[in-house]
């Protein structure tokens, strides 16, 4: 307990995944541990599966893959060769972080025992000087600090720190935190002055160090994070395996105009930069984060919230390069995006960040795990011609335990508080409890079938003893919304300031009806297509749900059509199905041909009506292996867009706007 | 000269790149060396640039990169570390093959001296047992035969053999052939019996061994090629870095239904399999090649003839996965495809193979080198949002010398002969000379501005002394064609059987008018787009040719429009430009948005007419760095296709066809 002076007092309430200091530059503050509990509905079910199935599956797989054994070998408790990827230590740390948040949610003697045993092994593997990395310790001690570009040494340290902080916050148990702190102190010695001016090729350490500062109060960790961020963008990784953009190393963070490179690296870095802004108030960091976010959402984000267009280097592609079939959309990138958007929300208080967090959560993220909680996907494309098989584990196992830690901490993302009240960002059957500075203890009960139904009932269980404001996010996707029957504007927060009484109820009603979505005309890969959404849920068509003969290669729909609810799919956990009228065309004239002269291409094909049955995207690949698509061809959509513009050209007189620019 | 008994007699005429034996199962036979000379036009200019600029540039770059020096080091003539990729020896061999065919075209004391010196170094580097691989010899002698999966050892041997055969055929000089043969004998010792049942991860050795058999008459080389092909498809590379498909190792060749995996590997293998069929008559090999070709052209070939949809593993993608922006289309794959199609043409005599060869030659292949002959592209996408820079050389330098050897041997692909006459497959200002069995010496002069004009005049210079057949390929792309004014059918050969006289002229006229091409509706990435072609040339729009304000992200055209010739582009060597009426839309309502609810998406945008100026695709990226696209959005195209099918549904009575199948 050598750092006891830095520790918070036991029993002192503290926020959870992200815990801004009292002086932090944030608009909103996370609730304290235990302040939110998800009780019913989809998210509760996912948390329960994670606790009861996935965490145990994960532990087995980490043993099976040798990932835990590596620590035993490094600790001298066992002998053998190291197994797994260079960064596999982080898989163990992420699993531990997941267990920590599970123990915050609810005690479990079994999970606590498993974690305690594992933490003891991790602690035993630590070198006397604080170093801890089983690759270096088992495979090659001379490797230390020699491959920052691809070695993931500080990345693994970051996940160790996050796990240590999580245990301290969730359970008060600080063994792992002290292991993390000793390693962080070593990092500060090595990288914290002018001796070694490098940083890690894979960001993650930055946000972890900020959190360690928040947890311990030791400024050295914050300062190290600042230094590491400031070093980036100067060509440190020149001559490396990839281009500088891959490492976010071509432009200093403060000057960055766009978000580029390896998606997970870019997003963890952006989250760390946002944390750094929160604790330092350095405006250039916030401005950079905002520019990157705007760039990301203007041209580089999939409808599912997924990020990353390229398999080759796992990178964010060029603007508008968003192929649905070759989408990379790594599950870890969705998780990193959720982490970043939460931080942006805290810093700005703006609902657009909660909107994107929601989109990513219910689509790009939830798709990363099978419904049974035992298999995972690394990439999450929006179209598959051949179907795909999820894997129970993978040699690159970064995603599964990352899914586990986010599912275990989902309740952290529901609500915040500030001096004047409580903000509800994500809706689930839940309890929210906090204490406001003026009004004192508040408790709310939220009853809802969200995301399947648009009605959200908020009941005040403990009203506080003075006026305060209840803020409700009205998602941007909702065509219309009401609170207690009165219209409110989507895409922002509705604020209800009252002297609340016990038993007061507020009924938010969102328009959950299925709707069609069209892509920006610049997204070439989606030209002439529409997607189907229902509330926050992106839908897809899977081959196994279609009529015989309705090959998903040949279906189309009408952008003017109206999708309708059509029952529930029991084999997918009772989720609502949506049906969309369409057609299936047999292109006999095209058999064996890829391209045709337009003069002869208009040969007849046989077209028949088809009812296209759609399911939530996140439930795909849980039944038959077969084709899937989110974006459905809608021939008239493209022509309509053109027609509209032509009409405008005709209707608009010269007095309304100037003549066309240019010389054409 | 230990193998002199195997060598053909000096002065005996022999075909060039591919030389089927007298017993071979071929419908058509290549001309002998010197039998075709390209004299004028685009291909002549490309050959001249290759000879005068590119080959010398290549020699400099091979020195600069250390690729030649590696041989000097291996020979003990110099000291130092080996530089370059594991397979870089093959770059030298390909350059030597290119020089050989240049010396066939026309003597050059300079090129001959350069080649002689280089061949001496290569010969000096050979081990006493015949082994030759500078990676193994310099870096790690124990590496020999240990990394067949990715080591390219037999691949390099294959290129050595091709270069040796080329020198023997083109110049009669057999030093390099003997080096190659000694290595091939070693390969036969090692892999030619039951001792080592493996093969190389990267095919190439197969077609080279067949050619070595053809050159030397030694059946052991043919038998080794057979063995190596037969071993494939049994999971030899299981546990390798990539999936088995990558190496064409998941299904035995004779059972292969589709063409999969790394594009260059797949295509070199297919070429070798076709050669093996030619010399053995083994029908399962031809059937496999035909199945693979049909699969390739039904759903896996780009409009440019380019092949390979994925950057990740340089592989052919799933059927209809043909993204224009992320097209890989490695230049080497275009070359391999040309090599394969030539072999398929010889074996079958069918014009479809010459059609695809032409498409690939003028588009996917020619794009691989800059107009000045000094820079190259490795990948050849059909869309670029940011422009691309060609490179003067690349650490992976497989493509540049591959371009050189194909340009130097382009004349091999013009014409063939069989017992009854001469077949003209590719048109260029050229002379064709051969001797037919019955008719004796024939000589033809072809005058044409092809591919820029559709008129091809064939004049008989030496008529022979009995009736024979002149066969002219009528390209499938030509909407109509005439020979001496009489209509002939495109997509096959026109056969003219006559007792020819000196001075007889035949005028073939092809419809070279610019035309629009539409994609198969199943190619998702091209939905609602058209491409512009003119004769065999695929066109593209480059940003630098458009009016100010006509951003290529926002242009569209009309599938019912008519592209028109519009002058010549002097800065691109005088190639014809084509103009297409279109529009440019400013999507103000979409600024910052990627997706919108269809209910609110139909906001007006300002649309202005624009004349889109297109240039031959192969000339792109020779001026400004800027956007480029082959496929142009044509909103009505998609809707039209649907309208046609709807009309058909309405018009067609039940007596014409049965009711729709299926239950929808």
pLDDT digit string (tens) for B322-347?
999 999 999 999 999 999 999 999 99
Q: Where residue A194 falls among pLDDT bands split at 50, 70, 90?
A: confident
Q: Is the peptide bond before B451 cis (omega within 30 degrees of 0)?
A: yes
For chain B, percent of residues with pLDDT exceeding 70: 93
Residue A656 pLDDT > 70 = no
Residue B8 pLDDT > 60 = no
All residues of chain A having their beta carbon less than 8 Å from the beta carbon of residue B297 are: 592, 594
The first and second tokens of residue A397, run together, are: 């196992």
Task: Give mean pLDDT, residues B48-63.
Answer: 98
pLDDT digit string (tens) for A10-37?
444 577 899 999 999 999 999 998 899 9
pLDDT digit string (tens) for A312-361?
999 999 999 999 999 999 999 999 999 999 999 999 999 999 999 999 99
State the catalytic residue, choosing from B153, B211, B279, B314.
Answer: B314
- Spatial contact of B403 and B368, defined as CB atoms under 8 Å apart: yes
pLDDT recorded at residue A604: 67
Note which residues in 509-538 of chain B have CB less than 8 A from chain A.
515-525, 527-531
CA distance B40 to B75: 43
**What average pLDDT does chain B have?**
93
For B104, counting Cβ atoms within 10 Å of its Cβ (0-12 exposed, 13-18 middle, 19+ buried), the class is buried
Q: Where residue A606 falls among pLDDT bands split at 50, 70, 90?
A: confident
Residue of chain B whose alpha carbon sits nearest to that of A294: B592
Q: Which of B259, B520, B530, B627 to mutate to test the interface with A (most CBs of A within 10 A)?
A: B520
Residue of chain B whose alpha carbon sits nearest to that of A608: B660
Task: Give mean pLDDT, residues A473-482.
Answer: 98
Task: Give mean pLDDT, residues B549-562.
Answer: 94
Task: Give mean pLDDT, residues B13-30.
Answer: 90
Task: Give mean pLDDT, residues B70-98.
Answer: 98
pLDDT recorded at residue A413: 98
pLDDT recorded at residue A588: 81
Residue A52 pLDDT > 80 = yes
How far is residue B527 from each of residues A635, B286, B425, B531, measured CA to CA in Å?
9, 34, 33, 11
pLDDT recorded at residue A30: 97
The first and second tokens of residue B295, run together, are: 């699969």
pLDDT recorded at residue A548: 92
B204: left (phi over 0), alpha (psi -120 to 50) or beta: left
The answer to whether the complex's ipTM is over 0.85 is: yes
Pick A311's closest partner by Cβ from B310, B521, B611.
B310
DSSP assignments along B106-170, one per residue: S--HHHHHHHHHHHHHHHHHS-TTS---HIIIII-GGGTTT-TTTS-HHHHHHHHHHHHHHHHHH
For chain B, percent of residues with pLDDT exceeding 90: 88
Report residue B423 CA to chain centroid gap: 20
Q: How far is the alpha carbon of B613 from chain A, nearest alpha carbon, in Å?
A: 12
Per the annotation, the verdict on B314 as an active-site residue is yes
**Domains recognised in chain B with CATH numbers:** 4-413 (1.50.10.10), 417-510 (2.60.40), 515-589+604-643 (no CATH)
Task: Give mean pLDDT, residues A444-472.
Answer: 98
pLDDT digit string (tens) for B624-652?
889 999 999 998 766 665 444 443 333 33
Task: Give mean pLDDT, residues A118-126.
Answer: 98
Contact between B660 and A525 using a beta-carbon 8 Å cutoff: no
pLDDT digit string (tens) for B114-137?
999 999 999 999 999 999 999 999
Contact between A524 and B520 using a beta-carbon 8 Å cutoff: no
Q: Is the peptide bond before B177 cis (omega within 30 degrees of 0)?
A: no
Residue B663 pLDDT > 70 = no
Predicted TM-score (pTM) of this structure: 0.93
pLDDT recorded at residue B484: 98
How far is residue B664 from each of residues A643, B220, B382, B610, measured CA to CA in Å?
31, 61, 38, 43
Quick one: DSSP state of residue A331? Answer: H
pLDDT recorded at residue A638: 67
For chain A, percent of residues with pLDDT exceeding 90: 88
CA distance B446 to B428: 7
Residue of chain B whose alpha carbon sits nearest to that of A587: B521
């Amino acid at each position: 307990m050598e750092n006891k002076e830095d520790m918070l007092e036991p029993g002192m309430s503290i926020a959870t995944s992200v815990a801004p200091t009292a002086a932090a530059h944030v608009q909103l503050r996370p609730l304290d541990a235990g302040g939110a509990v998800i009780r019913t509905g989809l998210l509760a079910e996912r948390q329960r599966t994670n606790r009861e199935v996935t965490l145990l599956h994960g532990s087995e797989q980490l043993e099976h893959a040798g990932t835990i054994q590596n620590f035993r070998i490094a600790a001298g408790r066992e002998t053998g060769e190291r197994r797994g990827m260079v960064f596999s230590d982080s898989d163990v740390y992420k699993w531990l972080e997941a267990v920590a948040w599970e123990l915050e949610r609810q005690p479990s003697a079994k999970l606590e025992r498993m974690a305690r045993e594992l933490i003891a092994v991790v602690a035993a593997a630590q070198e006397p000087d604080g170093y801890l990395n089983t690759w270096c310790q088992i495979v090659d001690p001379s490797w230390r600090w020699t491959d920052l570009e691809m070695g993931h040494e500080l990345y693994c340290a970051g996940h160790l720190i996050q796990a240590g902080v999580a245990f301290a916050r969730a359970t008060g148990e600080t063994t792992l935190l002290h292991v993390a702190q000793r390693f962080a102190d070593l990092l500060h010695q090595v990288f914290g002055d002018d001796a070694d001016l490098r940083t890690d090729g894979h960001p993650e350490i930055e946000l972890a160090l900020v959190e360690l500062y928040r947890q311990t109060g030791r400024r050295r960790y914050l300062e190290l994070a600042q230094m590491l961020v400031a070093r980036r963008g100067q060509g440190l990784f020149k001559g490396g395996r990839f281009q500088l953009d891959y490492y976010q190393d071509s432009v200093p963070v403060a000057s960055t105009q766009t978000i580029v490179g390896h998606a997970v690296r870019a997003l963890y870095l952006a989250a760390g930069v946002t944390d750094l802004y929160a604790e330092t108030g350095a405006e250039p960091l916030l401005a950079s984060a905002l520019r990157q976010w705007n760039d990301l959402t203007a041209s580089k984000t999939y409808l599912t919230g997924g990020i990353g267009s390229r398999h080759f280097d796992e990178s964010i592609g060029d603007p508008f390069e968003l192929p649905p079939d070759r989408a990379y959309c790594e599950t870890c990138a969705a998780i990193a995006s959720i982490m970043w958007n939460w931080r942006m929300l805290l810093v700005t208080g703006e609902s657009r960040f909660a909107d994107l967090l929601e989109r990513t959560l219910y689509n790009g993220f939830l798709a990363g795990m099978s419904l049974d909680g035992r298999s995972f996907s690394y990439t999450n494309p929006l179209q598959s011609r051949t179907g795909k098989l999820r894997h129970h584990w993978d040699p690159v196992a970064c995603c599964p335990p990352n899914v586990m830690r986010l599912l275990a901490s989902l309740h952290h993302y529901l609500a915040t508080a500030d001096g004047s009240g409580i903000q509800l960002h994500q809706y689930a059957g839940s309890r929210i409890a906090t204490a406001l500075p003026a009004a004192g203890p508040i408790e709310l009960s939220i009853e809802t079938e969200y995301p399947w139904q648009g009605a959200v009932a908020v009941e005040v269980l403990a009203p506080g003893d003075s006026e305060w404001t209840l803020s409700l996010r009205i998602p941007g996707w909702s065509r219309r919304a009401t609170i207690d029957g009165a219209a409110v504007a989507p895409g922002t927060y509705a604020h209800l300031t009252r002297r609340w009484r016990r038993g007061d109820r507020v009924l938010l009603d969102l328009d959950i009806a299925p709707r069609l979505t069209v892509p920006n005309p610049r997204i070439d890969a989606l030209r002439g297509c529409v997607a189907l959404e229902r509330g926050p849920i992106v839908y897809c068509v899977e081959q196994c749900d279609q009529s015989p003969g309705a090959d998903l290669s040949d279906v189309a729909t009408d952008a003017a059509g109206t999708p309708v609810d059509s029952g529930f799919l029991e084999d997918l956990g009772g989720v609502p199905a949506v049906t969309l009228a369409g057609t299936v065309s047999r292109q006999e004239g095209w058999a064996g041909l890829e391209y045709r002269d337009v003069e002869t291409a208009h040969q007849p094909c046989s077209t028949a009506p088809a009812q296209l049955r759609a399911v939530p995207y996140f439930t795909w690949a849980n039944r038959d292996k077969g084709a899937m698509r989110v974006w459905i061809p809608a021939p008239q959509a493209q022509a309509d867009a053109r027609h509209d513009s032509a009409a405008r050209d005709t209707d608009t007189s010269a007095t309304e706007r100037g003549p066309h620019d240019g010389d054409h």
